[in-house]
């Protein structure tokens, strides 16, 4: 793995002072069609090194808030062990008062990330942007399959799903259709972005499966589906979410790099940087970089949660 995210100077890459942490999770243990998502984090990081770090839209250089590239989570002895390792790594950095982001890997890694954020933030919405519902309770003998990525979130958080256009009929028994925005409906609803935001609580974690995009702009994913999102409508939506709510973290998953097609890698890199830029475009969103330790009093943790909810 790369030494620093996006090749940024060491000054901005130190854990002690960085406001942002990115955790790579090169895992592809349960995917059922095209393999290669385990190569996604490396492709994302390589593309990031070739990206301009000034964002024109927000007039910012978000990397100057500090971005620490954590050690990759490489546990792969079983899907359950991987989810537990991701959960522990994610929670460790949340408890250091960092804005924690994760880049997978297949979507099963999000079971661990969501579990960690749900334990650390009250009244959490999981905003699930994806082509697939991922609501199976169990699949191929495990509850930690990529097809089960947000089942636990549907039971423990306020799950809002956007861009869905592929699912199994059995998932209808779990799905909350009032909080599910199907791609075919979004195509004819000029107000779908506002309708989604109306369903979100104050604290939001975003899990973004790259197959949410139309394969004409991002073909390098494990299970591409026609009829997906395009670049500028996605950015408009994400910017609205970041402005309206306290986004407490996010993950991006399911980049399946192709040696003959590098534009998908670069899109993923730009998407990640855009999401950071929207989070930190206002100084009001800057996190206190004081480190939390295991000995931090619970009252301090509660205060930090309350401050996050008040953003």
pLDDT category of residue 33 using cuts at 50, 70 and 90 = low
Residue 283 reports pLDDT greater than 80: no
Name the phi and psi angles at 166, rounded to 5: -155, 130
Entry pTM: 0.90
Q: Which residue has the tokens 């206002």?
A: 282
Half-sphere exposure of 46 (CA within 13 A, CB side): 13
Distance separating the N- and C-terminal Cα atoms of the chain: 34
Nearest to 222 by CA among 256, 259, 251: 256
Q: How far apart (Å, rounded) are the C-alpha atoms in residues 221 and 224?
A: 6
pLDDT digits over 198-214, tens only? 999 999 999 999 999 99
Cα angle 162, 97, 143 (rounded to 5 degrees) comes to 45
pLDDT category of residue 300 using cuts at 50, 70 and 90 = very low
Residues β-bridged to residue 24: 103
Crossing angle for the helix pair 79-94 and 109-120, to the nearest 10 degrees = 40
Q: Which pLDDT does position 32 carry in this prediction? A: 60
Q: How far apart (Å, rounded) are the C-alpha atoms in residues 207 and 210?
A: 10
Q: What is the mean pLDDT of the chain?
A: 91
pLDDT digits over 178-201, tens only? 999 999 999 999 999 999 999 999
Peptide bond into 105 cis (omega under 30): yes
Q: Which pLDDT does position 148 carry in this prediction? A: 96
pLDDT category of residue 36 using cuts at 50, 70 and 90 = confident
Tokens of 218: 């991002």
pLDDT digits over 66-83, tens only? 999 999 999 999 999 999
């Amino acid at each position: 793995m790369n030494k620093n995210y996006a090749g940024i100077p060491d000054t901005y890459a130190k854990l002690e002072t960085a406001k942002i942490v990115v955790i790579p999770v090169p895992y592809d243990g349960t995917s059922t069609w095209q393999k290669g998502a385990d190569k996604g984090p490396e492709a994302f990081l390589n593309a990031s090194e070739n990206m301009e770090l000034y964002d024109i839209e927000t007039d910012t250089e978000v990397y100057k808030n500090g971005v620490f590239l954590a050690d990759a989570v490489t546990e792969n002895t079983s899907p359950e062990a991987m989810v537990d390792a991701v959960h522990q790594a994610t929670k460790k950095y949340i408890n250091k008062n960092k804005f924690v982001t994760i880049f997978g890997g297949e979507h099963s890694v999000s079971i661990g990330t969501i579990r960690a954020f749900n334990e650390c933030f009250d009244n959490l919405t999981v905003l699930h942007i994806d082509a697939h519902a991922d609501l199976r309770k169990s699949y191929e003998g495990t509850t930690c399959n990529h097809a089960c990525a947000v089942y636990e979130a549907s039971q423990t958080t306020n799950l809002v799903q956007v861009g869905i256009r592929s699912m199994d009929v059995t998932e209808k028994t779990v799905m909350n259709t009032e909080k599910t925005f199907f791609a075919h409906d979004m195509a004819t609803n000029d107000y779908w972005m506002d309708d989604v935001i109306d369903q979100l609580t104050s604290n939001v974690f975003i899990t973004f499966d790259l197959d949410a995009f139309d394969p004409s702009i991002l073909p390098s994913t494990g299970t591409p589906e026609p009829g997906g999102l395009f670049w500028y409508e996605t950015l408009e939506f994400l910017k609205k979410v970041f402005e309206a709510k306290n986004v407490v973290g996010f993950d991006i998953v399911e980049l399946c790099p192709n040696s003959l097609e590098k534009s998908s890698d670069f899109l993923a890199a730009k998407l990640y940087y855009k999401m950071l830029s929207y989070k930190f475009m206002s100084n009001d969103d800057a996190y206190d970089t004081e480190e939390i330790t295991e000995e931090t009093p619970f009252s301090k943790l509660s205060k930090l949660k309350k401050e996050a909810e008040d953003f």
